[in-house]
Amino acid sequence: MKPAARLLLLAGIAVVALLVAVRLGAVPLSLRQVWDGVRGSGDATTIAIVRRLRLPRAVLAAMVGGSLAASGATFQALLRNPLAEPYILGISGGAAVGAVFAIALLGAAASGGIVAACALAGAVLAIVLVFRIAAVVGQALDTRILLLAGVVVGAFFNACILLALTFADADAFRSAIFWMMGSFSGATWRGIGLLAAAMVPGLAVLLALARPLNLLSVGEETAAYLGTRVERTKLLAYGTASLLTASAVAVSGVIGFVGLVVPHVVRMLWGADHRFLLPASVLAGAAFVVLADTLARTAAAPTELPVGVVTAFVGVPFFIYLLRRRAA
């Protein structure tokens, strides 16, 4: 199968996943009802379910999944570390601090928008802190120091979260914990628009860096000898992947495992060329998270499972299967 055909296949899977997500729920809808709801020609309830509840939620899940997977693939290449994932540089910790403080201080007054804004601010703060620690003025950005700085900043933010939770009341405590588990239940078209504003240019930058990322995943010195301006590329790629992750976390909370496992699965199936790996990860990540969220909504209805639990429960066995297949 040619790369273009593979991408088409993945895009098809993502579309099917979106359809399944819109059809399934407390009120199951037929394909015809879904189509009518999207066009706005059905009955009012169906239109509301499709347009205001399920479609935005599924679209947001797809965008977050795609962003996290692309960001994870980028971090893995830059850090030349298979265990790297989008949250490795403390971004999730920073976002969580912002969100938890907003929830703890404002309580019920904290709307989704305010929490998201605070989470984004926290995530950006984490990015700035990590890079300030790692980038000694006038010297090259050392990947190992960056990794350690990320771990340390993440640990510090976790302590901050525990501190904030200690003084939070029961309701705020519960909301904060739920936020940290990640969810798409607060999906709005406005949030989707804001995420798209970060995601579209972010993905474009990463795709433009696909060849340098191929080289950097072999080694920084090798990349330089093959014509890459290494420091500039690293800074651009880290910055872009970090901002992608920050926007995704701000709108959906911390959804683990997608950014780690999706790029690995794509690599194991089809190789590590980033010109293919990045777009394929976006599509596969989107489909994976949409299906995981659908399962989270419906598996134990009316109770909603945390989507991060589903991504891990589904992703881990699949990953182990792939590892063992490769070993055999």
Partner 1 sequence: MSGWSCRGVRFRYPEADRPALDGVSLEVAAGACTAVLGPNGSGKSTLLRVLLGTLRAEAGEVALDGKPLAEWTREAIARQVGVVPQGEEAVFPMAVRELVAMGRYPHLGPWRREGDADRRAVERAMRRADVLAFASRPLSTLSGGERQRARVARALAQEPAALALDEPTAALDVSHEMAIFELLRDLGRAGTTVLLVTHNLNLAARYASRLVLLDRGRVAAQGTPAQVLTRETVERVYGWPVRIDPHPGPGPDAGAPQVVPLSGEACAGMTARGDTDVA
Binding-site member from 125, 215, 241, 283 for partner 1 (CB under 8 A): 215
Residue 226 beta carbon to partner 1: minimum distance, rounded to whole angstroms:
5
Binding-site member from 219, 299, 316, 323 for partner 1 (CB under 8 A): 219
- For partner 1, give the closer residue by CB, 231 or 304: 231
By CB under 8 A, is residue 45 in contact with partner 1?
no
Binding-site member from 212, 259, 279, 306 for partner 1 (CB under 8 A): 212
Residues within window 124-143 making contact with partner 1, judged by CB under 8 A: 139
By CB under 8 A, is residue 297 in contact with partner 1?
no
Whose CA is closest to 58, among 265, 288, 213? 288
Other beta carbons within 10 angstroms of residue 163's beta carbon come to: 14
- Amino acid 243 reads L
Binding-site member from 12, 40, 82, 201 for partner 1 (CB under 8 A): 82
| Site string (182-211) toward partner 1, x via CB under 8 A | --------------------------xxxx
C-alpha–C-alpha distance, residues 261 and 211, integer Å = 22
Binding-site member from 26, 27, 218, 299 for partner 1 (CB under 8 A): 218
By CB under 8 A, is residue 317 in contact with partner 1?
no
Q: What CA dihedral angle connects 97, 100, 101 and 105, to 10 degrees? A: 180
Which CA distances in Å does 14 have to 10, 17, 241?
Answer: 6, 5, 22
By CB under 8 A, is residue 169 in contact with partner 1?
no
Structure tokens at 26: 């407390």
Burial class (CB in 10 A: 0-12, 13-18, 19+), 188: middle
Residue 311 near residue 292, CB atoms below 8 Å = yes
Query: Which range in 154-162, 220-228, 291-299, 307-315 contacts partner 1 by CB under 8 A?
Result: 220-228
Residues within window 222-261 making contact with partner 1, judged by CB under 8 A: 222, 224-230
Residues within window 266-285 making contact with partner 1, judged by CB under 8 A: 267-268, 271-273
Residues 6+ positions from 297 with CB-CB distance below 8 Å: 24, 25, 304
- For partner 1, give the closer residue by CB, 206 or 290: 206
By CB under 8 A, is residue 71 in contact with partner 1?
no
C-alpha–C-alpha distance, residues 229 and 227, integer Å = 7
Residue 230 beta carbon to partner 1: minimum distance, rounded to whole angstroms:
8
- For partner 1, give the closer residue by CB, 276 or 288: 276
Peptide bond into 302 cis (omega under 30): yes
Residues 6+ positions from 46 with CB-CB distance below 8 Å: 29, 33, 36, 37
- Amino acid 63 reads M
Q: Summarize as ranges the residues that interact with partner 1 (CB under 8 A).
A: 76-77, 80-82, 139, 208-212, 214-215, 217-219, 221-222, 224-230, 267-268, 271-273
